[in-house]
């Protein structure tokens, strides 16, 4: 079993770099849920709750209705 490195060994990311990585991750997550690239970008940039999006779509909610709810 490989040990997790100490926090002091982790790379330090500057604020903008962290924001970019979070945005790109959220963008990919919303795309994987089935949103168009434009809608996924809109949601990734917003404060939309990714967990709520997963729940809504998993429960059978249409993406356009889920988008309206998440906004």
Residue 70 has which token pair? 């998440």
Q: What is the pTM of this model?
A: 0.75
In a domain, 40, yes or no: yes
Check if the beta carbon of residue 44 is closer than 8 Å to that of residue 33.
no
What pLDDT does residue 4 have?
A: 52
50-64 average pLDDT score: 96
Count of the separate structural domains present in the chain: 1
Tell me how crowded residue 36 is: count the other CB atoms within 10 A of its CB.
13
| Alpha helices in 1-71, H assignment, sequence order | 15-32, 37-45, 50-58, 63-70
The percentage of the chain sitting over the pLDDT mark of 90, rounded to a whole number, equals: 70
Structural domain harbouring 54: 14-70
In a domain, 9, yes or no: no
In a domain, 31, yes or no: yes
Cα distance between residue 31 and residue 1, in whole Å: 33
The 10s digit of each residue's pLDDT in 26-56 is: 999 999 999 999 999 999 999 999 999 999 9
Q: How many residues does the chain have?
A: 71
């Amino acid at each position: 079993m490989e040990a997790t490195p100490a926090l002091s060994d982790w790379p330090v990311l500057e604020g903008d770099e962290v924001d970019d990585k979070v945005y790109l991750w959220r963008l990919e997550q919303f795309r994987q849920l089935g949103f168009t690239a434009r809608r996924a970008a809109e949601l990734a940039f917003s404060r939309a709750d990714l967990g709520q999006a997963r729940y809504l779509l998993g429960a059978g909610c249409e993406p356009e209705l889920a988008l309206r709810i998440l906004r």
